[in-house]
Structure 1
């Protein structure tokens, strides 16, 4: 990922927090038939490995699980809030007109070697933790144990778990940091004017530009 210095984010705690908040990522690997990508929820264990470890699971039928090669490099992409930025928001448009549209966004890329596992208890633990995390805000959280045991076991047989110890992690917070002060104000005001449609990117933009 191209990350100019003014957009680069190296704070590991913030990168981990962002992965956890986004939760749903794109898993990319290079197999014998070329690049393959899957869109899956993942868990992060920040204490395991140099930069943390990602875990998740895929359907056994997924071609991404079929490669027999070892030391497969994987890339997990977590895309945060984003928004189109119109040049009309820039004060410099009125001064010289030398402005163009852009797209602002937050993204985290995590790299590492992926390994797969089929151990039933390990899969059950991974699926249970993933479920508990995303059910936590519900008034009556659903748990894996709420389903009949034979039903749970049949579903566990249809998936394969994966683990990625992160060897490199890149963060990009492209939020108009490279613009003049008055243009930054225009971007913040413009995002705020979109009736909540860009509330997430507006919040993170204001936090970054005013820090």
Structure 2
């Protein structure tokens, strides 16, 4: 992932927080017919390995997992909020019209080999933890044990699990750090006042200079 130096993020705690808050990641890998990609919810174990380990599952019918090889790297993309930045947000534009639009965003890319999991017990653990993560805010959370055992067994046979130990981690936080404090504040204020919730989410991440 390309990011100019002011927009590179190397703080591991911050990168992990971004990954943990991402609800849907994109798994990209090389297959016999070229690049393949799958959108999928993931579990991030920050205490496994130097950069963490990611667990997820794919449909067994998805051909992507059949091409995984330990000598090839796969990529997990963790997108964050993004926002169009108008030159009109910059107070400096009044004195210097040499400005153009840009785009602010945050993202994390995790690289590593993919191990395929077929065994029922670890598959059930992945599915259970994913369900618990996304059900915990409900008044009456659904649990995998609510499903009939034979039905659950059939569902587990229809998926494969994956484990990706992260060997390389890259982060980008393009949040107007290359602008003056006044321009950064102008962008933050404009995005905060926007009716678009993604703009608001990005503004909340912009740090004062």
TM range (shorter): over 0.9
1:129 deviates by: 0.5
Counterpart of 2:54 in structure 1 is 54
1:185 deviates by: 1.7
1:118 deviates by: 0.5
Measured in 1, the distance between the counterparts of 2:9 and 2:141 equals 35
Counterpart of 1:86 in structure 2 is 86
Counterpart of 1:7 in structure 2 is 7
Measured in 2, the distance between the counterparts of 1:8 and 1:99 equals 22
Cα deviations across residues 140-173 of structure 1 (Å, max 9, x unaligned)?
A: 1001001100110000000000010000101111
Counterpart of 2:39 in structure 1 is 39
Counterpart of 1:73 in structure 2 is 73
List alignment gaps of at least 5 residues for structure 1. Answer: none
List alignment gaps of at least 5 residues for structure 2. Answer: none
User: Counterpart of 1:171 in 2: which secondary structure?
Assistant: strand
- Answer whether contact 1:71 1:114 (CA < 8 A) is retained: no
- Answer whether contact 2:68 2:114 (CA < 8 A) is retained: no
Of 179-188 and 195-204, the range deviating more from structure 2: 195-204
Measured in 2, the distance between the counterparts of 1:192 and 1:6 equals 22
Alignment of 1:111-126 (within 5 A): 111-126=111-126
Counterpart of 1:201 in structure 2 is 202
- Answer whether contact 1:92 1:99 (CA < 8 A) is retained: no
User: Counterpart of 2:132 in 1: which secondary structure?
Assistant: helix
Could you tell me the TM-score, scaled by structure 1's length? Answer: 0.95
User: Counterpart of 2:39 in 1: which secondary structure?
Assistant: strand
User: Counterpart of 2:15 in 1: which secondary structure?
Assistant: helix
Of 100-109 and 89-98, the range deviating more from structure 2: 89-98
Measured in 2, the distance between the counterparts of 1:165 and 1:143 equals 27
Pair 1:27 & 2:27 matched: yes
Could you tell me the TM-score, scaled by structure 2's length? Answer: 0.96
- Aligned length in residues: 208
1:78 deviates by: 0.4
1:68 deviates by: 6.3
Q: Is the alpha carbon distance of 1:13 and 1:101 closer, same or farther for their aligned partners in structure 2, counting shifts above 3 Å? A: same
1:45 deviates by: 0.8
